Amino acid sequence: MRNLKKNLLIGLFVALASEFYLNVFVSNFRISPSVILFPILIMTLGQELRIMDMSVSAAAWIFCFRFLIRLFGGTAPAEAAIVVIPATIFYLSYGALFQLFIRNRHTANPARTALTAFGADFLSNCLEMTLQDLLQRQPLDVLVTANFLLGIALIRAACVFFTLFCIMQYEAFLRNREHEERYQRLYLLKSGLQSELYLMRKNTEEIERVMGNAYRMYESVLEADLPEELRNRSLAIARDVHEIKKDYLRVIQGIEQEIETDYDLGSMRLSDILRVLKESSYRAIDARKLKIRIIIEMDFDMPVEEHYALMSVFKNLVNNAIEAIESDSGRGTIVIGGRREDGICIFTVLDNGPGIREKNLERIFQMGYSTKFDEKTGNMFRGVGLCGVRQMIGERFGGTIAVESEYGNGTTFTVRIPEYAIAGKNADSRTAQNVKEQNPKEQNPKEQSGKEAGSNE
């Protein structure tokens, strides 16, 4: 039933298109776009249907339309049928020839389809003109007729080729766009996992410390000859922490193995990172129905070795800016800027949101601190984003992050990273050494980061 409906619809479209025509050369010979539309429909919408079924449908619709039009125009039924039959035979012949020349429509390219359309058009037109000559007794000049029909068939075949080629290019464009969107989702997922893994690795050290304290507590309980129940409980705590640590490490190893083996892109240009960031941020903005504009003002471009880590930094800062604007008016602007000064890459993420109160500025980089909460549950968010960003910048890149904000007038985060730390193995070692000599504070980034964050810890 589904195929029948498709056949009838394709035939109807072809019949309707045949009513837009030029009547030239001889009477009752039409030049219409239906002969262009028919092979296109055969190769696209009707690719899974039998060609002869579509031809019969088109021929039947055309016969009914033209016969009824002439009948209502006062033409006798017999005469109307004689005039209409040649056009009906044209589509039956066209379908038969098309099916003969193209056995597999799935592998036929636009050039082969256009060549087939040319041959089927010319031969079917010759048959139609011959039938008109026999039925209506209209003698024709064979040479002139053949040249005319060749020209018409050539023009229509060229239109078929151009249309199918455009359709093929458009489908390729859609596939490429889908692939690009899938790649961006995978890339953002991996950069997000990098950020979370960074915190998980840090937490393993905390688990190790807790496990050590638990065993030392158990030993102290044994030495103090405390009640057996207390000894058993302290041993159970130490054992449970040990099991949690093992499971935690297995999870980390599994995620690390997955993201290290799949989708490894090597280095990535800074401009590409920012393009992905901008497109993904706009999708989040649209999903939240906000009116936020993102502007990128980058004075340089370069290959980035640790691009997942850098993406995590940018993504966290931009997400914070989006959430800040969302909590205010829902309208605003985020500017991502960048410049190079003396071997240092300086990135800024500025927003015109509500800003941060001065009393909160010293605490925003602390683990667990957050000013956001879930309106539905009333629970505070975990507050690990900026803490993780600072640790990643300090330990992965040897850089620093600072914040400036005036309550009511927006916020600016400034990230400073040595150029050699971003470029990785793509940077010249001599440049790295020069940067270190010019910026002695950067030689021990962990220590420097700790000093800057001293009031925040």
Residues 436/381, Cβ–Cβ less than 8 Å: no
Is there a contact between 28 and 76 (Cβ–Cβ < 8 Å)?
A: no
pLDDT of 447 reads 41
Q: Is the pLDDT of residue 381 over 80?
A: no
Domain region containing 432 = 268-452
pLDDT interval class at 163 (50, 70, 90):
very high
Count of the separate structural domains present in the chain? 3
The answer to whether residues 313 and 409 belong to one domain is yes
Question: Do 439 and 374 share a structural domain?
Answer: yes
Tokens 């500017």, residue located: 335
What pLDDT shows up at residue 373? 45
- Considering the domain architecture, whether residues 131 and 194 belong to the same structural domain is answered as no
Q: Is the same domain home to 308 and 248?
A: no
- For residues 252-276, one letter each, b for 16 or more C-beta atoms within 10 angstroms of the residue's C-beta and e for the rest, the string is beebeeebeeeeeeeebebeebbeb
Residue 443's pLDDT is what? 39
Q: Among 193-202, 351-360, 383-392, which stretch is predicted with the lowest mean pLDDT?
A: 193-202
In this structure, what CATH number is given to the domain that contains residue 112? Answer: 1.10.1760
- 400 has pLDDT over 90: yes
How far apart are the C-alpha atoms of 374 and 206, rounded to whole Å? Answer: 28
Q: Is residue 177 part of a domain?
A: no
Domain end position, chosen among 140, 160, 179 = 140
Residues 25 and 90 in one domain: yes
CA distance 13 to 272: 46
User: Region 60-64: what's the mean pLDDT?
Assistant: 92
Among the three residues 140, 168, 199, which one is the final residue of a domain in this structure?
140
In the predicted model, is pLDDT for residue 63 greater than 60?
Answer: yes
Q: Which of 261, 290, 309 is the last residue of a domain?
A: 261
User: Is the model's pLDDT at 98 over the cut of 90?
Assistant: yes
CB 366 within 8 A of CB 457: yes
What local confidence, expressed as pLDDT, does residue 382 receive?
40
Predicted confidence band at 221 (pLDDT cuts at 50, 70, 90)? confident
Q: Position 237: which residue type?
A: I
What is the per-residue pLDDT for 433? 43
Q: 244 and 276: one domain?
A: no
Of the chain, the percentage scoring pLDDT greater than 70 comes to 80
419-451 tens-digit pLDDT: 999 887 544 443 444 434 444 433 343 343 333
Mean pLDDT rounded to a whole number for the chain: 80
pLDDT tens track for 228-284: 888 888 888 888 888 888 888 888 777 777 666 544 456 788 998 898 888 888 888
Q: How far apart are CA 273 and CA 264, in angstroms?
A: 14
| Residue 313 token pair | 């930094």
Could you give the count of Cα atoms lying within 13 Å of 299 in the half-sphere of its Cβ? 10
Q: Is the pLDDT of residue 94 over 90?
A: yes
Judge contact between 448 and 441, C-beta under 8 A. Answer: yes
Task: Measure the CA–CA gap between 202 and 209, rounded to whole angstroms.
Answer: 11
Q: Are 296 and 280 within 8 A, CB to CB?
A: no
